[in-house]
């Protein structure tokens, strides 16, 4: 009986660590998308390219949609 309890606890620990690891990577990816969007929008005036604003806004929309609530 205690053996099955130990297995359940170890499975829960593995699942919790995987979820934590994946959540951290997801947040880092989302931050990279938002930083790229900010750089595109910021440098669009210097490059005089309206398309960079559109690409930056598109990436900002993706980053906002992926953000945890």
Both structure tokens of 55: 């690409």
Supply the pLDDT for residue 9: 63
> Tell me: the pLDDT tens digits for 5-35?
666 666 666 666 655 666 777 888 889 999 9
Q: At what angle do helices 50-66 and 2-47 cross, to 10 degrees?
A: 160
Average confidence score pLDDT of the chain: 80
pTM of this structure: 0.65
Both structure tokens of 33: 């998308």
Residue 37 near residue 63 (C-beta atoms within 8 A): yes
Supply the pLDDT for residue 67: 76
Q: How many CA atoms lie within 13 A of 66 on its CB side?
A: 17
Q: Where are the alpha helices (H) located in 1-69, listed in sequence order?
A: 2-47, 50-66
């Amino acid at each position: 009986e205690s053996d099955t309890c130990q297995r359940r606890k170890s499975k829960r620990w593995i699942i919790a660590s995987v979820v934590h690891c994946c959540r951290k990577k997801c947040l880092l990816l989302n931050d990279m998308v938002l930083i790229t969007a900010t750089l595109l929008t910021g440098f669009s005036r210097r490059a005089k390219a309206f398309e960079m604003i559109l690409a930056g806004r598109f990436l900002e929309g993706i980053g906002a949609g992926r953000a945890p609530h």
